Structure 1
Amino acid sequence: MVAEACARSGRSPEAVRLVGVTKTVGPSAVPALLEAGVREFGENRWQHARELLEAPGAGDAVWHFIGHLQSNKAKYVVRHFDWIHSVDSLALAQEISRQAIRYGRTVQVLIQVNVSGEETKSGIPPEEAIPLLRETASLPGLALRGLMTMAPKTEDPERVRPVFARLRELLAEARHELGDPGLTELSMGMSDDFPIAVEEGATLIRVGRLLMGT
């Protein structure tokens, strides 16, 4: 499905990376997923993630934290995760920076944007994305890589296309205004809508149910 979506939009499948969302499975699934070729894992809760991080082979995977992150949990997440998709405030970015320095790490960071404007979604409004990117650009221990969003749930995936298109446009604006060629990543699209996200430029898709089952 990824290859087909890439073909429709004139993209190479190699430009899209699949993050397997493991929030519904136990530690025994980690070696099986690695055997199946999954190399990047996404978790949205530290309490669940720490069990999976002890599974055989977990150290061979790239770990993405994709859920809402409280500042008091940053010290745990920074130690174990390579990517954090859900930075939504300067205060959180500063805490991640402090912990990254503490543990001698560089964390790949995405700013979460609430493009849809839903009150139940985390993330900052689109108009605040570039200012936050600018404020966090010089923080040590952080490598700003791009933007993330969550689309509304709908039975018609085409209805979320404008959300993904807006995030793509916003990333292009940010790259131009900040002059930062390293802003290349768009984390968007899940099990129900990732083909649309890929067509609109997603570089990271977060797939759980289709990959793990229910």
Structure 2
Amino acid sequence: MKSEDRTNYVYRFTYNSGPGLREVFQCKYVKPDEALTRFQRILSLTDEPFDFKIVVIDESKREESSFEVEGGSVKEMIEKFRVFLEASTGILFVEEKEDVEVEFEEINFESMSSFEKMHIVIYASFKHGKFSSLDVAEIFEATFNEDLPKSTASTYLARMWNDNKGHLERYGNRSGYTYRLKTEIAEVQKETERAEDILASIQMHVGK
């Protein structure tokens, strides 16, 4: 991560994914627009999330601020969270530009979770055909030079499948599941393009 891109902020997002089901997502040291983008990707795995809360912690000043949105749509929540993040951090969001080439140096791998890295592997490497948790773990380890236990990959895949509400289709039974990306969905196609750009940047960097 470039030093000028690193912040002192910790972001904690919570929301309900169903009756009595409270989910928590946290990321650190990225800019607020990146934090909100990551949260949106997590929300895409939930059918009808509701009752949202965000907590922003400034580790350098030991200050904490929070904001809650009860009811309303995800779109309304995202817009309110955006205004709150700009107000609480003083950092303005950068408008997205289309067809911007992804540079390896601009990708903050340090603060990415294993779940986010696995997203990249799946969208970039498994556009065609079915795959298993073992396939994912092997490519993950080859790409990031990090271990990903098969059991962890299985858990993450089940989360992405989300009872067929997510971006994956699932086949088989408990003795051995396989998955397929729903590449016919526009959102999946967009995520695939993004992941391919990131993966290509990684490979170019490693090859230097």
TM range (shorter): under 0.3
Q: Which structure has the larger Rg? A: 2
Q: Higher strand proportion, which one?
A: 2
With the length of structure 1 as denominator, give the TM-score of the two structures. 0.27
With the length of structure 2 as denominator, give the TM-score of the two structures. 0.27
